[in-house]
C-alpha cells in the first residue's frame, strides 16, 4: 500500500506518491505537479567497484515525447540521445545533490528522472529536482538532505515563483535556486541585465519558499524514510599520511605548489610522488596504490591552509587580483568575426558565423515555448588545452553546460530579428585552460560578435570567484578569478556574467553544504568589481562598439515586407517561382507568414536583383508603371515578356515600334531585355504593355 502526500506550491498542487511504483529502487517518488508527472528514483550499488577513487554519481533526466503527445521524428521513431535541455537539467539536479553525499562514499549511485507527462504550466525540471531530493532522502543511501528547489521569474518587475508557460514567455529573469534547511546550495540564472540587489532579493525569496518545501519533505521522510545503510569508508590510512607528511614536510609541499605556472606545479608534485613511490615500494608496498589519494589530501590541506590562514595564493596574487588579461580581434582573416581572450593560462578563441534565418536551429522537445534557437553558442574543450593526450569524442556534458552558460549570458544583449535578420552561431575553442574557461568564452564571444558587426546592446564580461572555508560560517575567504588549483581544492566556483547595468547569467557550483547570505552577497559584489574592470580596461580598448556593418566575407541580408496574400505568388507552384529566383541570383530567401521576406547573399547586386524580382511579382500592374522584361516567346501578333519568374505580359506588334513593322522578329529576338510601360487592361480584361510608349 502506498502513501500519498500533497502541498500547495506556487498556486498549484504538488503530490508525492511513495510505494506506488519502482519498489526495487532504493528510493522512488512518483511526482505530480499539476498535470506534470515525473518518476524519480535513487539506486545505489551494494559495494564500491574495484579500484574506484571517487564518488560515481550519475544523474539522468529522460524526456519522453509521449509526455507531450508527440511521436519522435526520423525513421526509427524512438527517442535517441539526450537533448541539450535534458543534459542541462541533469547537471542542475546533480550540482545541489552531489555535495550532500559522504565525501568517502564510493558506491555507484544513479538518480533517474523519467518525464512521463508534461503540463506546460508546471515545470518538469523543477519536479525532477524535487523528486531526486525526495527519492534520495527516503532511501537507505547516505545523504545529508533533503534539498528543495524553486524557479523564479520576473514579470512587469514582480517576482513570480515556478512561473507558468505564459509567464516564462514574458519573464526577464530565469532563476533556479536549490536550498538545504539552512543555506543556499545551488544557483543557476539567466537575466536581462538585472541589478545585483534585485538578483540577491530573488535568490533569497526562492530560498524562503524552499524552506516550506523542505518541511513538507521532512514529513514524508518521517513516515516513509528507510534507515541509512552502512558503507565501506574510503580514507587514507592515518599511519601512511603521518609518515608521508613527515618525510616530505609541509614546507616542501608548500614550495611545490607555490608557482603561477601550472606545468611547473605538476612537475613538482610528480617528483614528490616518485620519491614516495620509491620509498614505499621497499618498506610498505601496500601503500603504493593509495599514494595518489594521500598526496591529493596533503596538497589540498596545504593549499587551503595557505589561502585561509596566510592569505597566500599559489600563484602569489592578492586575494582580489585578476591574472594578466589580454584581448584581440580579427585573429582569423576570412571568418565573419573572431576574437581571442586570455586570462593567465586560460585562453579562448571565439569565432562568429552569420547565416540566413532559415539556418536557425529547430528544436523538437517537450517545452512548447522552445521551438527554435536563433543564437547558438558551442564550446569545445580539447585535451591539448590541459596538456593531455585524449581523442576527441564530441562534446560531453561539461562542454554542453559551458556552452549553454555563455549562450544564456549573451542572449539578453542580442539584437532582435527585425533589427538584425541573421541566424548567429559562436564557437568557443579553448586553446589553453587553467580555470574559468566558460567566463573567458563569454568575453571572447562578446568581442567576436562586435567584430562581426552584430549590433549587441551592451558588452558582456564574465568572471568567477572562489571560496575557502574554515570550521565556522564566519571563517572564510573569497578569491577573485580562481585558477584551476583553487577551483580543484576550494569550496566554490561562483560564475557571474553581465554588463555595466546588471547580471545576465549566474552559475554556482559548491562542494560544501551551502552558502550563507553574507557569502553570496559578497561574492556577487566582488564579481561586479572584477567585471567592471574587464569591460572598461581590457575589452573596450580592444573594440569599443560593434562594427557598423558586417564584414566582406559575411552574408548580407535585406528584409522587405510584402502582402501576405501574395506569398503564394512568390513561392509558386511547388516552389517553382522562388527556386527560379534563387537559381537566377544565387541568394537565399526566407519568407515568414506575416510577409517578411529576407534575402541573403554575399553580393549586394544579386540581393538587389532578387528583391526587384520579388517586388515585380507582388506588384499589381497598373497603367503608367515602367518594367523591364525578357522576351521569352514571339508570336505573329506580338511578343511575350517575362518580368520575373512566373510573371509574364504581352506587347502587341503595334506597340513594339513607333515605325510600322511587318514581323515581330524584325525588331525583337528571344532573350532581349526591353523596357515597357503598362497600358492598363485591354477590352478583354488583359494587361497590355508597350515598348514604343516608354518615356
Residues in a beta bridge with 111: 42, 59
First to last CA, the chain: 93
How far does Cα 472 stand from its chain's mean position? Answer: 36
Is residue 243 annotated as involved in ligand binding?
no
Is residue 487 annotated as involved in ligand binding?
yes
How many C-beta atoms lie closer than 10 Å to residue 626's C-beta? 11
Grid cell of 543 as nine digits: 573594440
Distance CA(555)–CA(124), nearest Å, equals: 40
How many C-beta atoms lie closer than 10 Å to residue 241's C-beta? 18
Q: What is the DSSP letter of 538?
A: I
Distance CA(632)–CA(640), nearest Å, equals: 6
What's the chain's Rg over C-alpha atoms? 32
Contact 611, 570 (CB under 8 A): no
Distance CA(348)–CA(432), nearest Å, equals: 7
- What are the E-state strand segments in 490-580? 492-498, 503-510, 556-561
- Count the residues in the chain: 695
Burial label for 310, CB within 10 Å (0-12, 13-18, 19+), is exposed
Contact 19, 1 (CB under 8 A): yes
Angle, helices 517-533/196-224, rounded to nearest 10 degrees: 140
Grid cell of 19 as nine digits: 510505494
Contact 400, 438 (CB under 8 A): no
Burial label for 186, CB within 10 Å (0-12, 13-18, 19+), is buried
Grid cell of 6 as nine digits: 500533497
Continuous segment of H or E residues that includes residue 614: helix 604-618
Largest CA distance in the chain: 118
Burial label for 567, CB within 10 Å (0-12, 13-18, 19+), is middle
Residues annotated within a binding site for Mg(2+): 487, 493
Residues annotated within a binding site: 487, 493
Amino acid at each position: 500500500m502506498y502513501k500519498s502526500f500533497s502541498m500547495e506550491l506556487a498556486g498549484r498542487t504538488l503530490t508525492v506518491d511513495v510505494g506506488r511504483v519502482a519498489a526495487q529502487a532504493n528510493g522512488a517518488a512518483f511526482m505530480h505537479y499539476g498535470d506534470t508527472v515525473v518518476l524519480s528514483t535513487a539506486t545505489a550499488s551494494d559495494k564500491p567497484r574495484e579500484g574506484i577513487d571517487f564518488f560515481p554519481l550519475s544523474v539522468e533526466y529522460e524526456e519522453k515525447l509521449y509526455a507531450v503527445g508527440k511521436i519522435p521524428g526520423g525513421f526509427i521513431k524512438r527517442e535517441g540521445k539526450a537533448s541539450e535541455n535534458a543534459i542541462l537539467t541533469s547537471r542542475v539536479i546533480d550540482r545541489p545533490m552531489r555535495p550532500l553525499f559522504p565525501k568517502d562514499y564510493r558506491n555507484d549511485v544513479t538518480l533517474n528522472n523519467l518525464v512521463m507527462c508534461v503540463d506546460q504550466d508546471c515545470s518538469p525540471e523543477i519536479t525532477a529536482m524535487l523528486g531526486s531530493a525526495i527519492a534520495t532522502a527516503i532511501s537507505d543511501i547516505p545523504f545529508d538532505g533533503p534539498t528543495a528547489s524553486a524557479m523564479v521569474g520576473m514579470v512587469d518587475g514582480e517576482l513570480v515563483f515556478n512561473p507558468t508557460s505564459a509567464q516564462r514567455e514574458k519573464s526577464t529573469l530565469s532563476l533556479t535556486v536549490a536550498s538545504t534547511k539552512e543555506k543556499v546550495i545551488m544557483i543557476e540564472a539567466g537575466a536581462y541585465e538585472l541589478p545585483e540587489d534585485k538578483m540577491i532579493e530573488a535568490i533569497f525569496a526562492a530560498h524562503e519558499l524552499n524552506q516550506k518545501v523542505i518541511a513538507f519533505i521532512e514529513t514524508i521522510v518521517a513516515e516513509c524514510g528507510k534507515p541509512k545503510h552502512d558503507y565501506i569508508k574510503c580514507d587514507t590510512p592515518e599511519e601512511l599520511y603521518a609518515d608521508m607528511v613527515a618525510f616530505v614536510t609541509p614546507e616542501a609541499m608548500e614550495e611545490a605548489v607555490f608557482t603561477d605556472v601550472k606545468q611547473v606545479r605538476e612537475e613538482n608534485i610528480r617528483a614528490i610522488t616518485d620519491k614516495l613511490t620509491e620509498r614505499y615500494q621497499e618498506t610498505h608496498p601496500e601503500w603504493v596504490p593509495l599514494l595518489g589519494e594521500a598526496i591529493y589530501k596533503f596538497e589540498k590541506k596545504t593549499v587551503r591552509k595557505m589561502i585561509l590562514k596566510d592569505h597566500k595564493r599559489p600563484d602569489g596574487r592578492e586575494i582580489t587580483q585578476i591574472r594578466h588579461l589580454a584581448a584581440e580581434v580579427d585573429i582569423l582573416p576570412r571568418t565573419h568575426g573572431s576574437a581571442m581572450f586570455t586570462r593567465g593560462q586560460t585562453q579562448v578563441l571565439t569565432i562568429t558565423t552569420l547565416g540566413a534565418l532559415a539556418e536557425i536551429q529547430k528544436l523538437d522537445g517537450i517545452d512548447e515555448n522552445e521551438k527554435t534557437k536563433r543564437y547558438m553558442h558551442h564550446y569545445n574543450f580539447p585535451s591539448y588545452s590541459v596538456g593531455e593526450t585524449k581523442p576527441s569524442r564530441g562534446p560531453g556534458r561539461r562542454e554542453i553546460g559551458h556552452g549553454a552558460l555563455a549562450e544564456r549570458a549573451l542572449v539578453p544583449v542580442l539584437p532582435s530579428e527585425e533589427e538584425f535578420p541573421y541566424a548567429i552561431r559562436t564557437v568557443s575553442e579553448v586553446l589553453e585552460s587553467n580555470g574559468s574557461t566558460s567566463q573567458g568564452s563569454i568575453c571572447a564571444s562578446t568581442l567576436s560578435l562586435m567584430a562581426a558587426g552584430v549590433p549587441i546592446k551592451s558588452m558582456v564580461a564574465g568572471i568567477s570567484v572562489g571560496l575557502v572555508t574554515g570550521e565556522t560560517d564566519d571563517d572564510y575567504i573569497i578569491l577573485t578569478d580562481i585558477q584551476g588549483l583553487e577551483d580543484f581544492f576550494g569550496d566554490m566556483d561562483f560564475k557571474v556574467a553581465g554588463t555595466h547595468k546588471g547580471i545576465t547569467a549566474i552559475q554556482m557550483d559548491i562542494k560544501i553544504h551551502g552558502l550563507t547570505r553574507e557569502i553570496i552577497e559578497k561574492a556577487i559584489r566582488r564579481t561586479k568589481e572584477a567585471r567592471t574592470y574587464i569591460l572598461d580596461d581590457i575589452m573596450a580598448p580592444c573594440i569599443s562598439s560593434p562594427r557598423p556593418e558586417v564584414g566582406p566575407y559575411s552574408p548580407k541580408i535585406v528584409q522587405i515586407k510584402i502582402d501576405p496574400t501574395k506569398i503564394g505568388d512568390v513561392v509558386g507552384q511547388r516552389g517553382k517561382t522562388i527556386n527560379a529566383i534563387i537559381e537566377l541570383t544565387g541568394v537565399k530567401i526566407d519568407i515568414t507568414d506575416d510577409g517578411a521576406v529576407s534575402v541573403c547573399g554575399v553580393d549586394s547586386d544579386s540581393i538587389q536583383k532578387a528583391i526587384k524580382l520579388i517586388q515585380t511579382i507582388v506588384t499589381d500592374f497598373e497603367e503608367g508603371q515602367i518594367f523591364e522584361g525578357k522576351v521569352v516567346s514571339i508570336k505573329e501578333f506580338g511578343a511575350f515578356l517575362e518580368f520575373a519568374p512566373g510573371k509574364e505580359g504581352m506587347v502587341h506588334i503595334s506597340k513594339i515600334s513607333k515605325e510600322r513593322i511587318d514581323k515581330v522578329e524584325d525588331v525583337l529576338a528571344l532573350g532581349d531585355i526591353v523596357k515597357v510601360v503598362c497600358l492598363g487592361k485591354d477590352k478583354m480584361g488583359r494587361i497590355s504593355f508597350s515598348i514604343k510608349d516608354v518615356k
